[in-house]
Amino acid sequence: MKKLLSNLILGVFIGAGSSVVFADPPVAPFYEPLLKMTPDGKLGQVIKKEQIKTSVKGAQAWKIAYISSDLYERKTIVTGLVVAPVGPAPKEGRPIMSWAHGTTGAAQNCGPSQVLNPVVPLNEYFLIGGNSWTDYGIPAIEEFIQEGYVVVATDYQGQGGGGRHQYALATTNSMDTIDAARAASSMKETGAGKKTIIYGWSQGGGVAVAAASMPDYFSKKGTASDNLELVGSVALAPDDIAIMLPGATVDEASAQKSLGGLIQMFTKNIFDFSHMAMSMWGVQAANPKLKLTDIFTENGAKILDEVISNKCMHAVADTLNFNLSTQYKTLLKDQITNPLEWTKTMVKGSVNPTKPIAPVVIYWGNKDVTNPPIMGKLYQEQMCKMGGNVNRVQLPGDQSHFTTPGASKPFYIPWIKERLAGKPAANNCQLAAQLPS
């Protein structure tokens, strides 16, 4: 019955009897040549740029394409935005705010820089006032420009620069975010210096905590701009996959249990299932030893590959909901194959168990059911034991995953100013074990 249902669903997607051909969705002219280019150059090297209009007062902005790499040290082409104040910069250079966005999708046209007028404050799909099919924009962009900061916002690899997006692999996404800061620092037009803040939400919140534990990547030489100085990371409702997989890389049995439990946790509704499926698609994109059919049925893998390759996040969820309704779990296999390789890749691509090189602050809401706050709590406990400076702050009121960015802005703006001023950061490590999850 399950196989029959999957075959019927596949027929809806691709047409009975037709050959299956998946092609990348169309992208704007700036991005088209990038899909055929090879990623040759230094990390952070800008290989293409185009000045664009912005309504942010006192700002100038560019679309850029630059060189980055992934967790297996394969170079990539990544796109994004750079925004800088107009006018002369101070002698020491302007601080860099490197924004890591939340989930937008894995297709080539899902990069936030590709929307019309992308240099605006964060504009969310789910909130009243959202005016797009996706989340786009840059939180606190107006305030940061007024303060004299340079802001850079990566799209992540696979979201406009070719290749397959390694969604939810925080290590790869962090490299994109760090190299975006190198790119901004290398552009003479920006007046950027070396002091860097990484801030991110959701998927990007995971980037913010992961980047703080990547000292080797920050210290690389021969980049487009060496010696970036991370002075702080701001994580809004972050995820941390590795922290949820303790012991998952010991043996096949442990991997099977851990991965199965994680999948079960994120299949309670079609929205969560869509995120989980896209996460597995992103993990498989990083490691050729993995196959989607390790986790999904043959037809399920074909359906998910077509949808995720061609549509952005909310369209993915809507498509699966329309075609599958409550039957979405029929795309899953009863038994995962090759689980140990999956968990090893997921852990390798997650937050390194390394003491953060700069203070980290986490802001979270008590109504967040998208990224369970327990992930941030466990991350803090892990890093505090290593001597890290981690502060975890519950936002006032009832805050969901999607209200967290707006509710946290009044808190992280002064926190950033204090880090740039060289003031010591408070943390609540001593209270971490007693704090709510």
Do 315 and 167 share a domain, yes or no? no
On the question of pLDDT at 269 being above 90, the answer is: yes
Q: Model pTM? A: 0.94
Q: Considering 347, 371, 390, which residue would you say is the last residue of a domain?
A: 347
pLDDT computed for residue 430 by the predictor? 78
Residue 21 lies in a domain: no
- Residue 190 forms part of a structural domain: yes
* pLDDT class of 1 with cuts at 50, 70, 90: very low
Range of the domain at 9: 2-14+245-347
Residues 222 and 293 in one domain: no
Over residues 167-175, the mean pLDDT reads 97
Q: Are residues 272 and 131 in the same domain?
A: no
Same domain, 238 and 368: yes
150 and 260 inside one domain: no
Q: Same structural domain for residues 103 and 224?
A: yes
* Number of domains the chain is built from: 2
The answer to whether residues 288 and 208 belong to one domain is no
Is 90 exceeded by the pLDDT of residue 17? no
Which pLDDT value is given to residue 19? 41
Which among 327, 347, 367 is the end of a domain?
347
Would you state the pLDDT for residue 246? 93
CA–CA separation, 234 and 202 (whole Å):
11
Q: Is 288 exposed, middle or buried (0-12, 13-18, 19+ CB in 10 A)?
A: exposed
Asked if residue 276 has pLDDT above 70, the reply is yes
Per-residue confidence at 434, pLDDT binned at 50, 70, 90?
low
Q: In the listed set 347, 378, 401, which residue is the last one of a domain according to the structure?
A: 347
Residue 62 CA to residue 41 CA, distance in Å, equals 20
Residue written as token pair 């909310």 = 314
Question: Binning pLDDT at 50, 70 and 90, where does residue 173 land?
Answer: very high
Asked whether residue 25 is domain-assigned, the answer is no
pLDDT of residue 24: 73
Both 129 and 236 in one domain: the answer is yes
Average pLDDT over residues 215-242: 97
Say yes or no: 142 and 260 in one domain: no
Same domain assignment for residues 68 and 142: yes
Which residues are registered as beta bridge partners of 232? 197
Task: Report yes or no on 436 lying in a domain.
Answer: no
CATH assignment at residue 219: 3.40.50.1820
Cα–Cα dist 266/252, whole Å: 21
- pLDDT-derived band of residue 398, with 50, 70 and 90 as boundaries? very high
The predicted structure's pLDDT at residue 436: 61
328 in the same domain as 229: no
Listed in sequence order, the residues at least 6 apart from 10 whose beta carbon sits closer than 8 Å to its beta carbon are: 299, 302, 303
pLDDT at 16 over 70: no
pLDDT tens profile 326-376: 999 999 999 999 999 999 999 999 999 999 999 999 999 999 999 999 999
- 220 and 363 within one domain: yes
Rounded to whole angstroms, the Cα distance separating 152 from 180 reads 6
The mean predicted confidence, pLDDT, of the chain is 94
pLDDT value of residue 437: 60
Residue 23 located in a structural domain? no
- Looking at residues 290-314, what average pLDDT do you find? 98
Query: Quick check: is 413 in a domain?
Result: yes
Label residue 15 by pLDDT band (50, 70, 90): very low
The confidence score (pLDDT) of residue 431 equals 73
pLDDT reported for residue 4 = 44
In this structure, is residue 26 part of a structural domain? Answer: no
